[in-house]
Chains A and B, each alone.
Chain A
Amino acid sequence: MTVTPRALLGALLPLVLGLLLAAVPLLSLDVPWLFNGPLDSPGTLQVLAACLVLGGVAMSYDLLFGYTGLLSFGHALPFALGVYVSAIALTRWEWGMWAALGLTLAVGLVVPLGLGAVGLRVGGIAFAMVTLAFAQAGAVLVQKNPRALTGGDEGLGLSFERLPDFFVGVLNTKNLYWLALAYAAFVFVVVRWAVGSSPGHVWQAIRENEQRVEVLGLHPYRFKLMVFVLSSFLATAGGVVYLLVFGGATPAVISPNFTLALLVMVVIGGTGTRFGALLGGVLYTYLDQRLPSLAGSSEVQGLPGILRTPLSEPLFLLGTLFILLVLFVPGGLTGLAARGPGRGLRRLEGSLRPGGTSGGVTAQPEEVG
C-alpha cells in the first residue's frame, strides 16, 4: 500500500489543526484587531467556543444539505431540542448531569425519527417547507411556555449546582472551550466516517440522482431517514454544549433565522467539502459576535447616517456578503482553492424539484465526471 503525500496531508492536517486549537487556552498572546483580550482571557475563549460549537452544528447540517442534497429549513429544531431539554432537566427538574444528558440524547434520537418519517414522504421544496413548519411548531411551543417549563421569551437560565465544578465559573471557561473543541472534533470525525461508509456513498448518490438509486434497487427513503436522524442527533449534542458554553437557553436558538444562519454558514464555507462547513460556521459566528462591537466603534459612529445604519446591522452585512458569495463564488470559500466545474452548489442542482423530470426543462443536467 502506497501512501500519497496528498493522503498523508489529508490525515495530518486535521490532527495538527486540532492540536493547535487545543493549545489556544495556554497561550496568552495578544491578537490586536481580531480579539479584545489575549487568547487565554475568558471573553475570547467564549467567542472561540461559540465558533467551534456552531462550526460543529454547521457540519451536521452539511451532512444533510451538502452530502445528501436535502434542503431542510428546520435544523434549528434538533439543536434547540438539545438546548431546551437539557436546560429543563437540569434547572426545572433538578436532575443530575448524566441523567439529563441521557434524556436529551434519547429525545434527540426519537423526535427526528418521527418527524423524518413524516417529512421525508415528500421531497425537494415541499420537504423544505415541512421542516420549516415543524421548527415553527417548536418555536410556538417554546413561546407558549407550557407549565412554565421553557420560560417563554425570557429564556431559561442554567442552574449550575448540578454541574461538575470544572464547568462552572469564569476561570473554567477554558474547560468549556475544550469541550466545544472536542464536540467539533467529534462531529468532524463522525461526518468523515459516515460519508466514507457505504450508506454515505448512497447519500451522495441520492444527491446526484435519486431516481437512479431507486432503479438500482435501493430504497432512498430509508437512507434519507438515516442521514436525517444522524445529522439531527449531532445537532442535538451541539445544543447541549451550546447550553453549557452560554449558561442558558433563549428562544433565538429555535427562530427561523437560526436555521437560515446554518444554511448561510454551510454555503459560505462550501457545501459537501471536508472543511467548508466548519470554516463557514466559525467565520459566521465570529462575525456575528464581533460585528456589533465594530458597529459601536468610533470610526463607524462617525460616519454619516446613510453609511452608519447598514454598517450597524450585522445581519445586513452577513446577508449581503452571502448574496455576493452565492452570485460570484458558488463553491464557497473552500471552493476558491479548488478548481473545475461541478463543485459546491452547482452539484446540488436537480435535488430541489420533487420528480424534477416532470417539468421537462428542469430535468437534471447531465453530470459528467
Chain B
Amino acid sequence: MSTLVLLTITGLGLGAMYFLIASGLSLIYGLMGVLNFAHGAFLTVGAYATWWLQGVLDGIESTAVSFVLAAALGLLVGAAVAALVELVLIRPLYQRHIEQVLVTVGLALAITALVQGIWGADARVYAVPDWTIDTTEVLGAAIPNDRFVEIATAAVVLIGLQLFLRRTRYGLIVRAGVENRAMVTALGIDVRRAFTLVFAIGGLAAALAGVLSGIYFGSIDPERGTSLLIFAFIVVVIGGLGSIGGSAVAAVVVGLLQQYANYYASSGLGDLSVVLLLAVVLLLRPAGLSGSTATA
C-alpha cells in the first residue's frame, strides 16, 4: 500500500512537470500552428538562469529566499527568451508552418549547445531549502516533500491558466484565435499580440518546469529540456492539440503509467509503455482524448 501511495504521488509530480511543458506547447500549437521544438530550450534556459542567479544572490537571507528569488527571475528570463524568439524569428515566417518548425529545431540545437558551452555538460545542483528533501508520512509512505511542491505548482498554473483564458479579455482573444483565427482578425483584433503573449506564457511555464525538474531529479543538465520535451509532445498528442484540460488529464495518465510500469514491470518499461499508450490512443481516437477543437 505504502509503495502504491509513493508511486502515485511521485507519478503525479512527474505528470505535473509534463503538464507545465505541455500546456505551453498545446496553446502555441492551437493558436499559431507552430510545433515548438525550442520549448525544451526555454526550459533549459530557465533552469540554468535560476542556477546562475542563485550563485549571484548567494549570501542574502536564507537559502529559501535566495532560491525563490532566483527562480522568479529565472522564470522571467524564460518568458523573455520565448517572447524574443516569437518576435524576432517566428513572426517573420507568419503562416509558413514548416519553416517555423524548422527555425525552432535550429534554436533547440543552438541554445542547448550554447548552454553546454557556457556551463559545461556536467549536472548542476540547486541549493534548495532542507525541507524539500525531507519526507512526510502519507498513509504509511514516506514522500519527499518536493513532490507536493510540484503538484501544487501545476495545480496553481492549471487554475491560473483557466481563469486567464475564461475570465480575461486577452484569454478570450486567445480562445477565439484557437477556434478561428481568420474571424478574430476580421473583427479588427490584432491577434499577433496574442501570439507573443502565448509564447511568453509558454516560456514561463516551461522555465517553471525546468526549475522544478532541478528539485525533482536533484540536478539540471543541458539535455534536460530535450528529454522532457519528448514526453511532453506525447502528452500533447494524447490530450488533443490545443486543449489545456486534455493536456492536464494526459499528463497525469502518462506520469502515473510511467511510474507504475517502471516499478511493477521493469525499469525502462515505463517509457516504452507510454509510447504504446500513444499508439493505442492514435488507433482508437486519432484526434486525441479531447478531439481537435479548442477547449480552454
- Is the CB of A2 closer than 8 A to any CB of chain B? no
Which residues of B lie under 8 Å from residue A362 when comparing CB positions? 33, 95, 97
CB-CB contacts below 8 Å: B176-215 with A: 180-183
Q: Is the CB of A133 within 8 A of B33?
A: no
Residues A319 and B268 in contact in the complex (CB < 8 Å), given A136-B230, A349-B97: no
- Is the CB of A176 closer than 8 A to any CB of chain B? no
**Interface flags, A222-240, vs B, CB<8A=1, else 0:** 0000000000000000000
Residues of B within 8 A of A (CB): 29, 33, 35, 37, 89, 92-93, 95-99, 101-103, 105-114, 116-118, 180-183, 226, 230, 233-234, 236-237, 241, 267-268, 271-272, 274-275, 278-279, 282-283, 286, 292
16 contacts between A and B (CB under 8 A): A118-B279, A133-B274, A143-B268, A256-B226, A264-B105, A264-B109, A319-B109, A319-B110, A319-B111, A323-B110, A326-B99, A327-B99, A345-B102, A353-B33, A361-B182, A362-B33
Q: Is the CB of B98 within 8 A of A315?
A: no
What is the bound-complex CA distance between A140 and B278, given in angstroms?
Answer: 16
Neighbour of B181 across the interface among A71, A257, A352, A360, CB < 8 A: A360
Neighbour of B98 across the interface among A312, A351, A360, CB < 8 A: A351
A309 and chain B: residue at smallest CB distance: B117
Residues of A within 8 A of B (CB): 71, 118-119, 121-122, 125-126, 128-130, 132-134, 136-137, 140-141, 143-144, 256-257, 260, 263-264, 267, 309-310, 312-316, 318-320, 322-323, 326-327, 330, 345-346, 348-349, 351-354, 358-362
What is the bound-complex CA distance between A249 and B162, given in angstroms?
Answer: 48
Residues A349 and B182 in contact in the complex (CB < 8 Å), given A264-B106, A315-B112, A322-B106: no
Q: Is the CB of B237 within 8 A of A129?
A: yes
Residues A260 and B181 in contact in the complex (CB < 8 Å), given A118-B283, A126-B237: no
A311 and chain B: residue at smallest CB distance: B117
Q: Is the CB of B106 within 8 A of A130?
A: no
Q: Is the CB of B89 within 8 A of A323?
A: yes
Q: Which 6 A-B pairs have CB atoms at the shortest separation, nearest pair first?
A: A319-B110, A319-B109, A315-B113, A144-B268, A316-B113, A323-B106
Measured between C-beta atoms, what is the minimum distance from A214 to chain B in Å?
16
Which residues of B lie under 8 Å from residue A318 when comparing CB positions? 109-110
Measured between C-beta atoms, what is the minimum distance from B273 to chain A in Å?
10
